[in-house]
Amino acid sequence: MLPAVGYHRAMGRGLAVLVAGVVMFAGGSAVAWASPNDGAVTQRYVRADYELVHFAATRLGTGQALLEGVLYKTQALCPRAAAGSPQDPESTQLSNEVIGALVLADYRAVLPEINAFLRVAEHSSWSSRGLTAAVHRYARELRAISRLAPPDVCRDVQSWAGSGFRTLPESTIRFDLRFIPNWVSLGVTPKGLNSFVLSHDRELLAVARRDEQRLSDFEANAVETWAATIDGLELKP
């Protein structure tokens, strides 16, 4: 949960425009044009997303404490470990590893809730292939990142320093190759869902989206903890 997290994608735009046009012409209901299964699938998905993001959004104080735990660990175990290091692609990779350590500190604390969400998202299918594909892609990314083992930042920075800042440890390379492509925020309610949401679920969807925004704001503010961590290491991102 860190800076520059704009992973809430706008999905299903073409379908939404088409449905809107049909409704304006025929005066009918958008849901009436959907598969009979779409409303039930959407209801389950909205509930699962809400339960994930609401749980996380009501525990932001705990989330901040977990981020600070990563900072305090590096301050205690490897202060100034990268002192004298250059700013280069390798230092950027280690900075990405620090981001990953912070993200995973929070995500592992809500792993049961992530797993519950994934059980729904991975088996959700709509008449919109684009919406289905986008939700499944998000679920794959969230599953991948939630299964990563937290990196040992001190060990990896010290290993790099021990090589005279010439060679990154393989553990950093492997971690970044899995973390960066799968780095997503908690929760996603694609715009494509709007066409299938039943009237009595719209309030829950609105709450879920507000909680997603709260989490995004928290991620943006977490840049301060990231900056303090790399400053303490004297690592140039």
Per residue in 137-152, pLDDT (tens digit) is: 999 999 999 999 999 9
For residue 152, the enclosing domain spans 13-233
Q: Is residue 8 part of a domain?
A: no
Which of 117-121, 154-158, 183-187, 191-195 has the least mean pLDDT?
Answer: 191-195
Q: Is residue 7 part of a domain?
A: no
Residue 173 is predicted with a pLDDT of 98
Does residue 41 have a pLDDT over 50?
yes
Residue with tokens 């059980």: 119
Residue 8 is predicted with a pLDDT of 36
Residue 6 is predicted with a pLDDT of 36
Q: Is residue 52 part of a domain?
A: yes
Per-residue pLDDT band at 34 (split at 50, 70, 90): low
Q: Give residue-wise pLDDT tens across range 184-211.
A: 999 999 989 999 999 999 999 999 999 9
Q: What is the mean pLDDT of residues 24-49?
A: 69
Q: Is residue 1 part of a domain?
A: no
Residues 224 and 29: their CA atoms lie apart, in Å, by 47
Per-residue pLDDT band at 20 (split at 50, 70, 90): very low
Residue 28: phi, psi to the nearest 5?
-95, -170
Does residue 13 have a pLDDT over 60?
no
Per-residue pLDDT band at 9 (split at 50, 70, 90): very low
Residues 194 and 11: their CA atoms lie apart, in Å, by 10
Per-residue pLDDT band at 179 (split at 50, 70, 90): very high
Residues 203 and 108: their CA atoms lie apart, in Å, by 29
Q: Is the pTM of this model over 0.85?
A: no
Q: What secondary structure letter does DSSP report for 193?
A: G
CB neighbours of 31 closer than 8 A, spacing ≥ 6? 38, 39, 195, 196, 197, 198
Does residue 25 have a pLDDT over 80?
no
Q: Is residue 191 part of a domain?
A: yes
Q: Is residue 202 part of a domain?
A: yes
Residues 195 and 205: their CA atoms lie apart, in Å, by 12
Q: Is residue 3 part of a domain?
A: no
Residues 84 and 226: their CA atoms lie apart, in Å, by 19
Q: What is the mean pLDDT of residues 162-184?
A: 98
Count of domains observed in the chain: 1
Q: Give residue-wise pLDDT tens across range 78-106.
A: 999 999 999 999 999 999 999 999 999 99
